[in-house]
Chain A
Amino acid sequence: MSINLQALMAQLLVGLINGSFYALLSLGLAVIFGMLNIINFAHGAVYMMGAFCAYFLLNVMGIGYWPALIIAPIVVGIFGMILERTMLQWLAGLDHLYGLLLTFGMALIIQGVFQNYFGSSGLPYAIPAELQGGMNLGFMFLPIYRGWVVICSLIVCLATWFLIERTRLGANLRAATENPTLVRAFGINVPRMITLTYGLGVGLAALAGVLSAPINQVRPLMGADLIIVVFAVVVIGGMGSIMGSIITGFALGIVEGLTKYFYPEASNTVVFVLMVLVLLVKPSGLTGRTT
């Protein structure tokens, strides 16, 4: 096969764009797993809720894309915190499997309810006027909106990493995961911190949902299709590793993009092949700590 350099560059860029979504979603998963020890299978469902939230803000309340970027993650984040308070907190200390099953069940219920009322084919959400159109990069036509997605996701990912790894708040949080009793003795309200962390992780997924609404149809199953890939990303990057999940997210987007060029039929399996290979060689993931 002759390799067209221009086409290759274009595929790399497209891969980077998809990687942005993987990075945002796997970051949220890593935060939740790292801090709460919960394998959050409801992540795809809250991603979808973020997109729906943007749709309703626009079509019911007339609130446009830019405020929705802030409002939707907050609304969905609050929803997540309610879930954590009412259900997930009772699973603390139990086997991972319980959290996985509970969140998986919640995901099915949420998706089922949305599908019941809005059908499967989804709702339209237009690209905001400021970001319409595109520019010719010579090797490809880059829609401005896609460029924005990459930048926005990079900023949010790095900010989250900074918050958790480099601030006092993050330090408290990490300490609370290691030894909740001791941290409590210092006068820190650990359960509240955990709830807020879950809210943050869920809010990140909702933000990814808002970002994707103008690109994909706003569909009840949009998250279900994505979540399995994102889990593979987290496993490859190492469960609970913040930076690992960000880097792996972007990297796997690129690998997938290249597969779509060289052997498109395999593009939805390549991530899992990689996952198997990584698990064989390094079971804790590329950057994961062995627990």
Chain B
Amino acid sequence: MRNKASAVLLGAALALAASGAAYAQDKTVKIGVLTDNSGLYADLGGPGSTVAAQMAIEDSGMAAKGWKLDLISADHQNKPDIGTSIARQWIDVEKVDVLMDVLNSGVALAVNNVVKEKNNLMINSGAATSDLTNAQCSPNTVHWTYDTYMLAHSTGQALVKAGGDTWYFLTADYAFGAALERDTTAVVLANGGKVVGTVKHPLNTADFSSFLLQAQASKAKIIGMANAGGDTTNTIKQAAEFGIVSGGQKLAGLLLFISDVHSLGLPVAQGLNLSATFYWDANDQTREFSKRFSERMKTKSKPTMVQAGVYAGLLHYFKALEALGGNPHDGAKVADKMKEIPTDDTLFGKGMIQPNGRAIHPAYLFEVKKPSESKYPWDYYKLIGTTPAEQAFRPLAESTCPLLKK
């Protein structure tokens, strides 16, 4: 018996050693884009995120260097339980090496735990909650594009400084809305403003008139919309109807994507302030990328910052793999390599990934153009301020991420 057992052990050890030696040459990678393909966020990530991932694979030239890259995608329907079960199946059965996008903060936080438990890797682009790199940070997660801290500081601070010192929040009733409201409230208070009220609405609400009336009655100078996608566009459209802006209150789109502005049209959206880390019309390189991107899209839309983040994040992942010389199938190890190499890409510029997994790059404050200022299709934003990478995101000193306590 004992002999047999030790033989099995020896065999297992040999197999382990063999696989360890094999990883140096293992150049197969499987990438999974987990996003909302059919719901209210499908335009800001969705099929466009998969297109962006495909473009990153082609532009990286990895295939020519002997890598074999596979891409799959799935729809999490904005439900954390569906998101986690897809993630588990991908990691256990499909042998996916990296999960991309994972928009929707609720889904992202749930998938974050699965990925950590399985020592896989998530490069999150679409989720907003800053908790992913703060209290809930993980050695297996890189948060690429933006977060609620950045949005609150860029848009929130600018509005308070411009005199908007009383706020009323319209908040989507889930992890993302709560995080955005919390981070913005902190900024408002720190700058001497105050919050006079808040109303939480269910995700995916069609009619906002009840909530808008409450916001109107509060007499707050700023109505902060801590929601996203279809919820935000419906709020803005109906606020115009109820005479909120003409009554002297100002709407703050704390998270507005270019797809939202396009859908609203400039006559309704003009004058809104918003923050982003990527704008398709920023420079020649972003324009070149965006042109190729929209040619592949059925809707012919320009990329959102979420889709751009999938592209840039994946390219950086490939850099780390190349530096490692092969795919170790070890999420934390690849994440460490990604943090070691400074980030530098055509869409987000130079930056780095902090030890808590937060990718930092400059953030831009925009104002939506008037219809008369827009010269060509999708010419929507006017740049009014830039925050350097180091100041745009939460300073490490303020972070409660357990990874930082060494």
Residues of A with Cβ closer than 8 Å to B?
4, 6-7, 10-11, 14-15, 17-18, 112, 115-124, 126-127, 134, 140-141, 143, 145-146, 215-217, 219, 221-222, 225-226, 257, 260-261, 264-265, 267-269
Contacts and interface: CB of A to CB of B under 8 A. Distances in A.
A145 B214 contact: no
B141 interface: no
B210 interface: yes
Contacts of A6: 217
B151 to A, nearest CB: 19
Interface residues of B, number: 45
A222 B206 contact: yes
Contact of B213 (A10, A112, A215, A216): A10
A11 B216 contact: no
Q: What are the 4 A-B residue pairs with the smallest beta carbon separation, nearest first?
A: A260-B210, A120-B42, A124-B265, A121-B263
Given A120-B42, A120-B43, A121-B259, A217 B268 contact: no
Contacts of A268: 202, 205
B262 A121 contact: yes
Contact of A119 (B202, B209, B259, B264): B259
Contacts of A18: 207, 209
Interface in B180-211: 199-202, 204-207, 209-211
Given A221-B39, A267-B205, 12 more contacts: A11-B210, A18-B209, A115-B38, A117-B299, A124-B264, A141-B216, A143-B242, A217-B264, A221-B38, A257-B210, A265-B201, A269-B202
A141 B216 CA distance: 10
Contact of B206 (A115, A143, A225): A225
B263 A225 contact: no
16 contacts: A10-B213, A10-B217, A115-B42, A119-B43, A120-B38, A121-B229, A143-B243, A145-B241, A217-B263, A221-B39, A226-B206, A257-B210, A260-B210, A265-B201, A267-B210, A269-B202
Nearest to B44: A121
B264 A120 contact: no
Nearest to B266: A124
B265 to A, nearest CB: 4
Contact of A264 (B40, B201, B204, B264): B201
A143 B216 CA distance: 14
Nearest to A264: B199
Nearest to A261: B210
A18 to B, nearest CB: 5
B38 A134 contact: no
B41 A120 contact: yes
Contacts of A121: 40, 43-44, 229-230, 233, 259-260, 262-263
Contacts of B205: 267-268
A120 B78 CA distance: 14
B242 A120 contact: no
Contacts of A145: 241
A116 B205 CA distance: 22
Name, among A4, A112, A120, A268, the residue most crowded by chain B CB atoms within 10 Å (CB to CB).
A120
B301 interface: yes
B262 to A, nearest CB: 7
Contacts of B241: 127, 134, 143, 145-146, 215
A260 to B, nearest CB: 4
A124 B268 contact: yes
A215 B236 CA distance: 11
